[in-house]
Chains A and B, each alone.
Chain A
Amino acid sequence: MDSIKVVLAGQPNVGKSMLINAMSGSNTLKVGNFSGVTVEKTEVSFEHHSHLLEMVDLPGTYSIRGFSQEEKVAHTYLLNEEYDVIINVLDATHLQRNLLLTLELLKLNKKIVLALNMADEAEKEGLTIDIKQIEAITGVPTVLVSANSQEGIEELLERVHEVADAPQRINSNILYSDPVEEEVLELSNFLDSKGFTLRDLTSREIAIRILFEDKDLYKELHEYPIIIELQPRVVASLEHIYTHHDTKNVNDIKANEYIAIARGIRMETVKSTRNKDEKNSTQKIDMVLINKIFGIPIFLFLMWGLFQLTFKVGAIPMEYIDSGIGLFGDAVGSIISNDEFRSLIVDGIIAGVGAVLLFLPNIIILYIGIALLETTGYMSRVAFLLDGFFHKFGLHGKSFIPLVTGFGCSVPAYMSTRTLKSEKDRLITLFIIGFMSCGAKLPVYVLFIGIFFAPQEAGNMLFIIYIAGAMLGLVMAKALRMFVFKGEDEPFVMEMPKYRLPSFSLIWHTVYNKALSYLKKAGTFILAASMLIWFASAYPKHDLITQQYEREIADAGSDIALVKSLENKQKLEALEKSYLGQLGKFSQPAFEPLGFDWKMTVALETGLAAKEVVVSTLGVLYAIGDEVDEESSSLAKQLKDNVSFASAMAFIVFVMIYLPCLAASMVFAKEAGGYKYLAYLFVFTTVTAWILSFITYRILI
C-alpha cells in the first residue's frame, strides 16, 4: 500500500489535533482551548482510498521563524524532514492573522492544502467565505471544514490525494505593494536576461527572496558570478522600497507587506453580516470574567467550588466502593485455604489496590474541572488575571497553565512548560510544579482530612491544602528568581481564545482516558507495588519467634482476651522484623522529629515510586498490624487510633512538598535538561518538606 505523509501546520489553537481526530475517526490526540496543547509532534496513521495516510501533528506555530521551543519543533520539521503534503489549518474566523503563516508556508515550495477550520463557528458569526477566490489568490486547493461537525472532512482527504498525485503545485498570485512589485519585476527581468536559474525557483521567487534578505539564498548566490552585477541593482531596489516604507528594517517591511496581503485577501474573500461595533459574546463574557475588581474573586470562588465538589460529591460513591472492596476481600479470603496465599491476595493485593480505587470518584471530578478550564477558554483569562501577581513572584502569567495542569498530573504539566519562551521562566516553573498537588496526592489528603475533620469542614481543608501548596510554590519561585535564576523578564503577549461551550464528548474523552489510565496504573503498577510491599512486610519469617508465640498462645488456652493480645503482639513483632519494618526502623530516626512512626516513614519512601502507593502502603501495613478492631478494620479507623493529629498534619505537609513520582521525575529531568536538575529538585523538595513538616508538627503538638 502506498503511503502519503501529511504534515499539519497552523497557528496555535486552530484545532489541528481535533482535525486529525476527525479525519482518522479516533480520539487519540489531546485537545484543549488554549495555545500549546500539543508540544511535541505526534503521529497518527490510518487508511483512506487504499493509501496509508500518515498524519504528523505539529505544535502550533505563529511564525515559521518561531522562538519558543515548541515552535522550533514545527520549524525544524517543516524545513528538514521528508513529507508529501502540508495541510495548513486555519481558523476561518481569524483568517487574516492565520494567513500570515500561510504566506510563509507558501514560500517553502511544498504541496499545500488549506483547511479553513471552524466553518460552523464562522457561519454562526455571520461570516461567508469565498473559497474559490482564496484558491485563485493563493494558488492552492482550499477546503472549508469543521472538525467539530465533521463538515468537509471527506473533501479535505480527497484534496490531499489529488495534491499528492499532482506533479507540481501551481504558482500563487500573491501581489506585494506596488514599489516591491516594481523592484521584483526589475530584478527578475535582469535574472531572465542573464538566463540565471537556481534550483526549482522561478526568477520571481528568487527576486522576492533577494529583496527580503533570505539568508540561505544569499549563501547560495555567493557561489555565482552574477552576484557582482546583482549587487548594485539590489541596493538601488532596496533604497526605493526603504523610502516607500519609511524604514530600513527589512523585517518591518516584510511584516508590513505580509499584513497588507493578508488583510487584502481577507477583505476580498470574507463577507461579514455582523455589526462591527456590536460586542460579540466573548467580549461580553470578558467584561465579567476579567473584570478589574471581580475577576480574581470569581476565579478563587470557582477553584474553591471545584474542591468542595471534589470532596462532597466524591464522598458519595466512596462509601459504596469502600464497603464493596471490604466484602470482596472477605469473600475472596474465605475461599482460599492456604494462609500465605490468602494473606498475599487479601492483605496485599486487595488492600493495596483497593485503597487506590477508593479515590477514583475524587479524581474524576477533579479532572472534569480541569478539562472544563481547558476547553472553555477560561485558562488564558486566568493567566491574564494572574500575570501581574505572578510577575511579582518572578513568574510569567503563562506559567499558570503548567501549574494548573499540575493539579491533575505533573507529567503533562512539565511538558507544557515548553510554551514558555525564556529558559529561566521554564526552569523556575518546572521546579515549583511539584508544589501543585497532583491528583495522586489527593487520596492521601482525603484520607487524613476525613479522619480528623468533620465532613462540612473537609472541602475547605482540601482547598486550604491546595492553596497553601500553590502559595508556597510562589514563594519558592521568588526565592529561585532572586538567588538562582536571575535575569531578564519575559514579555507577556498571549492570545485570548474565544469562549467555547465545552463539548460533552470532548470532556468525556479526556476524563475517560485519564480515569482509564488511573485504573490501568492501579491494575499494573500499583498491583505490583502492593505485592512487593506485602512481600517485604511478610518476610523474612522468624520461625523461632513464631514457635514461641504459638507455645504461649497454647498455654493461654481458653483466655480469649489474652490469646487475642498475644496474636496481635506476634503480628506486630513479625511486621517489625520484616524487610519493610527494617527499612522503616532504619530510616525512622530521620523522621522521628516530624512525629512519623516507622509505617508512615515506609509509606513516604514507597511513595517515591508513585503517590498512590502512599495510601496503599498504609493500607497494607495497617491491615496486617496493630490491635485489630473487630468492628471496623478500615484504614481510616486504624489511622485514627494510631496517628496523632499533629503527626497527620505534618505528614500531609511532607507529602504536599516532597519529590513527585518516578514517572514525573523522569519527565522533569528530560524537560529541565539533565539528571543534575533532578538531583537539585530532590534536595530542594526534601529539605523544604522536612523543615515545614517539622514546623507543622512542633506547632500542633
Chain B
Amino acid sequence: MNLSELKKGDRATILKVDTDESLKSRLVSFGVARGSELTIEACSLGKQTIEIMVDDTLIGLRGEEAEKIEVKKL
C-alpha cells in the first residue's frame, strides 16, 4: 500500500520511495527513506496534504507525493 492510503494515527515502515532523484534526495535529507518508520500526524481536508513524523521530525507532504511512497502498515 502507499502512504496516502494510511489514516491519521497509523504507523508504517517505508518499503520504497518511487520518485525522481531530486525529490528523493530531499526526502532522504528529512530521513524519509527505505526502512524508516513513520506515523501519520494529520491530514488536511480530502488528504490534499499529510503531516507525517519521521525520527522526531514533522514533515508536510502533498497527497500526490505520498502516493509515490510505498509502505507497510505496522
Interface set of A (CB-CB < 8 Å, partner B): 11, 62-63, 65, 67, 93-94, 96-97, 100-101, 251-252, 255-256, 258-259, 263, 282-283, 286-287, 290-293, 295-296, 380, 383-385, 387-389, 391, 397, 421, 489, 491-498
Contact = CB atoms under 8 A, between A and B. Distances in A.
Contacts of A255: 24-25, 28, 33
A384 B49 contact: yes
A492 B55 contact: no
- Shortest 8 CB-CB distances between A and B: which pairs? A388-B48, A62-B29, A492-B62, A496-B58, A255-B28, A384-B60, A494-B60, A63-B29
B59 interface: yes
A489 B62 CA distance: 11
A251 B53 CA distance: 23
9 contacts: A62-B30, A67-B25, A94-B55, A101-B29, A259-B31, A421-B22, A489-B64, A492-B49, A493-B30
Contact of A251 (B25, B26, B36, B43): B25
Give the one of A11, A96, A489 with max B CB within 10 A: A96
Interface residues of B, number: 36
A699 to B, nearest CB: 34
Nearest to A280: B56
Contact of A282 (B21, B25, B58, B60): B58
B58 A97 contact: no
Given A283-B53, A286-B58, A292 B29 contact: no
B36 to A, nearest CB: 7
A247 B33 CA distance: 13
A498 B44 CA distance: 19
Given A252-B33, A492-B65, 5 more contacts: A63-B29, A259-B28, A380-B60, A384-B60, A495-B60
Interface of A is mostly: helix
Contacts of A380: 60
A292 B43 contact: yes
A291 to B, nearest CB: 7
Given A97-B55, A496-B58, A283 B25 contact: no
B49 A388 contact: yes
Interface string B32-49: 011110000111111011
B6 interface: no
Contacts of A287: 42
Contacts of B45: 292-293, 296, 388
A65 B21 CA distance: 11
Contacts, number: 126
A96 B42 CA distance: 23
A387 B31 contact: no
Interface in B2-37: 19, 21-31, 33-36
A254 to B, nearest CB: 9
B36 A259 contact: yes
Nearest to B19: A491
Nearest to B59: A495
A63 B25 contact: yes
Given A255-B33, A491-B62, A495-B30, A97 B57 contact: yes
Contacts of A495: 30, 57-60
A189 to B, nearest CB: 30
A62 B30 CA distance: 8
Contacts of B44: 290, 292, 295, 384-385, 387-388
Contacts of A492: 49, 60-62, 65
A409 B35 CA distance: 44
A384 B21 CA distance: 23
A388 B45 CA distance: 8
Nearest to B56: A94
Given A96-B31, A256-B34, A492-B49, A251 B58 contact: no
Nearest to B53: A283
A663 B74 CA distance: 55
A176 to B, nearest CB: 15
Contacts of B23: 491, 493
A388 B59 CA distance: 16
Nearest to A494: B60
Contacts of B36: 259
